Structure 1
Amino acid sequence: MTKVINPQDYSYSFRLGMYDCFKVLTGKCSLELSEEEYKYFRPFTSTYKDGSLDYCREFAQYLIRNDLFKQDTGITMFKNECGHVSFSDGQHRTCIAKKIGINNLTVSRFEINQGICRVCHFENEYNQLSPMKKLWYKIITNKEEEAIHKEFIDDELSGSFLKEKNI
């Protein structure tokens, strides 16, 4: 059963990495780049598919041109007890809708989940560690691996894989 939501009203728990999301890769959303920034970032994304510089820009144009936000988008969302919305399908479409200011998004399923999102779950687990275990975790954590498999709340993403590598 479809439901129309305002994507501006929610915070999303995304599970996107540097190969899926240009913002995770660079710290800047491709939909928010100036022409000068677009030219600067162009060489860095030639090998990334969903995370490429043009993926969301071209996808947004396609969705707008074909008026697809008003149709059943195939997006499946779950509102969690922590307040964040997570997905089984539709992360890019939802993020694009939020970024470009769409106020009416038709989703295939919008259900209430009896639990918290993965971001909050892992944050709670980390916060329960002793100071020594937190230090050990920081020592053994591979920053590159974290950037590849990133889970984040859309309103809280900062930093980037390229900045961490001084690129």
Structure 2
Amino acid sequence: MLIHEVFAAGYDFITGVPDSHLAGFLEALAAHERADECFSPGTREDNCVALAVGAYLAGAMPLVFMKSAGLGTCVDALTSLALVYRVPMVLLVSWAGHDGRDVPHHNVIGRPAPAMLQALGIPALRCRFGDTADIAEQLRAAQRQAVVARGPIAVLCAPEGE
């Protein structure tokens, strides 16, 4: 189960804004025995990035989940906190609209998401929902990269069937 892999990879603070593509992950997270100590659901992606910065400063390794549209919402928090102060964190992004075949508002942000991250200097790994082993491997790799680079790393996860 992916949530066990997340904890085994060393993530000990998880926050984010719920997304339908992340439903299974979120259900498992909410039911996990460690949920009360390390899960803080959010309502805005920028607030979640700020929480992750605080968690890192308190000694935790943060994972922030969001839908691709949330990248636009959290640009200020990423640039004024996480990037400036070189805070390692991993952004697990549900990458709707990546291929331009989704609803219009997903396509508008989904297709340029990698270029947007690149412009911010945030490396991005890719995976596909439904392949738990690959997601887990990308989250492990992203965590290692974030610590070495001392900054955010994104994992863009395309929904199944897209």
TM > 0.5:
no
TM-score normalised by length of structure 2: 0.25
Q: What is the TM-score of this pair, normalised by structure 1?
A: 0.24
Q: Which has the larger radius of gyration?
A: 1
Larger RCO (CA under 8 A, 6+ residues apart): 1
Answer 1 or 2: which has greater helix percent: 2
